[in-house]
């Protein structure tokens, strides 16, 4: 169907219909701009606007024609169908006119290299719309309202039962979730594990990497799905291929997409929409690795202005999650000073409070060298919108061979794979040199270090003597 041409006669009809029914003007008042009308109609359009604002009523046809040069006619008998047409077409007309004027205004900014105002002008024009969502009628149907909440929210399990419990069921579509960790804490591994968890639950999604290559991400996921250690991947490709093909039969789709650092949300949006069009598959989740490497669309911001940059990016990510109706998960860097902390707050996240304010859920990834050696990770809930779990922690197990992060808190028969043991002299020396009795701190006390050095020298001497015998 071809688009309507908004001639002077059509624009006159818009004004005539608004004068005929004052409620129609009230409904379009938020997007009504006399500048959008033809030059010959602007004086008339401005008079109608001023009269409505000052008198709280619409002027008559006679009043309008007495003031303006344009001569309007009384509107014919109109029904609801006519006004449905009016609301749709007036919205399209306004958006088109605002976009045209925004493009014309942009010329001067572009010549001066001021891209920020251009982006705002275009964005404001494109986003023009009537308010059609009237909100929730609280008293209308409580049962349906609660069942809808149950069906549509909190139903995307993370795959980690302990975390699901803290979140009252899992992640919600349309929300932004952030995993924050220090360098080397496993931020990418968490997002990759989530992607695998969801794919294995027959959900469809995409993992967007702004740092690692698609092939490296894929190889990590090979280990996660096949449970073949990454160092043995190439030793038995036939077995690997068979396991992945078997997993595919009961899994959803999972795409891996590399985008260069400093890409923006529009790049992600374009890719996702093209992906959904070409494959015909509606996405359930998007993992973006990671937020700090994105640039905002909203404004021209220096990459070094992290607070402002991340504020815009996090807002745009959350809007994208709502627009596409997906679970959106990303990661963020912790400040260097947070690495050795055992409790996290907003001050530990690079960029600070701007991300936390925007995100629906924020998790701190706590790990230490000693924990990693024992195959342990811990998540701290720094913020949740839909639960009361802030400050609580969830213990997870990390299998260094398969790279899987798992939660066995609901399995009564589970026995930890990695146990704290000291079955040899060397293990004992490691323990005494890193962890004091009754404390979880990694940094050895001075007397412990001296003791460890003495013990190590004794061990070396013992081994040397054995070699001489």
pLDDT reported for residue 284: 92
Closest C-alpha to 14, from 37, 47, 43: 37
Closest C-alpha to 32, from 55, 7, 51, 9: 51
- What is the torsional sign of CA 301, 307, 312, 314? positive
Statement: 153-406 belongs to CATH 3.40.50.300: yes
Asked whether 222 and 240 are in contact (CB, 8 A), the reply is: yes
CA distance 318 to 444: 43
Q: Per-residue confidence of the chain (469 residues) as pLDDT tens digits? A: 456 789 999 999 999 999 998 888 888 888 899 999 999 999 999 999 999 988 888 999 999 999 878 889 988 788 888 988 999 899 999 989 988 888 888 887 777 777 667 777 777 777 777 665 556 666 677 777 666 655 555 468 898 988 988 888 888 888 999 998 887 788 899 999 999 999 999 999 999 999 888 888 888 999 999 888 888 888 888 888 899 899 888 889 999 999 988 888 888 988 888 888 888 889 999 999 888 888 888 666 666 677 778 788 888 899 999 989 999 999 988 765 544 444 545 555 555 566 777 888 898 887 777 777 778 888 888 888 766 677 788 888 888 888 888 887 666 665 655 444 333 333 443 444 443 333 333 444 544 544 555 555 555 555 455 444 4
CA distance 261 to 350: 17
Beta-bridged to residue 377, according to DSSP, are: 396
CA distance 31 to 326: 30
Distance of CA 9 to the CA centre of its chain: 46
pLDDT reported for residue 76: 78
Instruction: Compute φ and ψ for 405, nearest 5 degrees.
Output: -105, 120
Give the chain as a 3 state SS string: CCCCCCCHHHHHHHHHHHHHCHHHHHHHHHHCCHHHCCHHHHHHHHHHHHHHHHHCCCCCHHHHHHHCCCCCCCCCCCCHHHHHHHHHHHHHHHHHHHHHHHHHHHHHHHHHCCHHHHHHHHHHHHCCCCCCCCCCCCCCCHHHHHHHHHHHCCCECCCCHHHHHHCCCCECCCCEEEEEECCCCCHHHHHHHHHHHHHHCCCCEEEEECCCCHHHHHHHHHHHHHCCCHHHHHHCHHHHHHHHHHHHHCCCCEEEEECCCCCCHHHHHHHHHHHHHHHCCCCCEEEEECHHHCCCCCCCCCCCCHHHHHHHHHHHHHHHHHHHCCEEEEEEEECHHHCCCCCCCHHHECCCHHHHHHCCEEEEEECCHHHHHCCEEEEEEEEECCCCCCCCEEEEEECCCCCCEECCCCCCCCCCCCCCCCCCHHHHHHHHHHCCCCCCCCCCCHHHHHHHHHHHHHHHHHHHHHHHC
Closest C-alpha to 169, from 183, 187, 150, 193: 150
**Class of residue 467 by CB neighbours under 10 A (exposed 0-12, middle 13-18, buried 19+):** exposed
Q: Tell if the pTM clears 0.75, that is, is over it.
A: no
pLDDT reported for residue 367: 75
Instruction: Compute φ and ψ for 443, nearest 5 degrees.
Output: -70, 120
Asked whether 204 and 252 are in contact (CB, 8 A), the reply is: yes
pLDDT reported for residue 60: 93
């Amino acid at each position: 169907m071809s688009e309507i041409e908004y001639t002077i006669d059509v624009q006159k009809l818009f004004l005539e219909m608004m004068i005929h029914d004052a409620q129609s003007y009230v409904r379009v008042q938020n997007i009504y701009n006399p500048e959008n009308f033809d030059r010959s109609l602007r004086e008339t359009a401005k008079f109608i606007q001023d009269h409505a604002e000052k008198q709280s009523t619409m002027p008559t046809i006679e009043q309008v024609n007495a003031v303006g040069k344009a001569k309007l006619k009384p509107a014919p008998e109109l029904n609801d169908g006519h006004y449905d047409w009016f609301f749709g077409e007036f919205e399209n007309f306004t958006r088109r006119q605002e976009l045209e004027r925004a493009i014309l205004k942009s010329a001067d900014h572009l010549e001066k290299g001021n891209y920020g105002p251009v982006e705002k002008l275009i964005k404001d024009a494109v986003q023009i719309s009537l308010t059609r969502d009237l909100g929730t009628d609280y008293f209308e149907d409580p049962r349906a309202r609660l069942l809808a909440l149950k069906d549509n929210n909190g139903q995307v399990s993370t795959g980690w039962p302990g975390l699901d419990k803290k979140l009252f069921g899992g992640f919600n579509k349309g929300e932004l979730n952030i995993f924050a960790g220090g360098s080397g804490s496993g931020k990418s591994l968490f997002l990759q594990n989530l992607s695998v968890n969801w794919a294995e639950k027959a959900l469809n999604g995409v993992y967007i990497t702004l740092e690692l290559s698609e092939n490296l991400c894929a190889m990590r996921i090979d280990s996660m799905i096949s449970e073949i250690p990454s160092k043995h991947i190439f030793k038995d490709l036939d077995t690997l291929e068979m396991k992945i093909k078997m997993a595919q039969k009961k899994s959803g789709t999972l795409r891996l997409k590399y985008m260069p650092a400093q890409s923006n949300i529009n790049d992600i949006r374009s890719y996702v929409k093209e992906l959904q069009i070409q494959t015909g598959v509606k996405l359930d989740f998007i993992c973006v690795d990671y937020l700090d490497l994105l640039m905002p669309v909203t404004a021209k911001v220096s990459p070094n202005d992290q607070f402002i940059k991340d504020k815009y990016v996090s807002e745009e990510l959350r809007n994208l999650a709502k627009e596409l109706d997906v679970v959106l998960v990303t990661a963020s860097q912790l400040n260097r000073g947070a690495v050795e902390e055992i409790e996290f707050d907003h001050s530990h996240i690079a960029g600070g409070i701007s991300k936390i304010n925007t995100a629906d859920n924020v998790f701190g990834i706590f790990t230490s060298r000693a924990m990693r050696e024992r195959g342990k990770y811990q998540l701290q809930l720094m913020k949740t919108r839909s639960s009361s779990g802030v400050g609580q922690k969830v213990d997870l197990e990390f299998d260094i061979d398969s790279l899987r992060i798992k939660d066995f808190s609901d399995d009564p028969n589970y026995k930890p794979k990695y146990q704290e043991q000291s079955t040899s002299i060397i293990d004992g020396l490691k323990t005494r040199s890193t962890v004091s009795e009754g404390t979880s701190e990694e940094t050895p006390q001075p007397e412990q270090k001296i003791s460890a050095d003495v013990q190590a020298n004794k061990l070396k001497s013992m081994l040397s003597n054995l070699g001489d015998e």
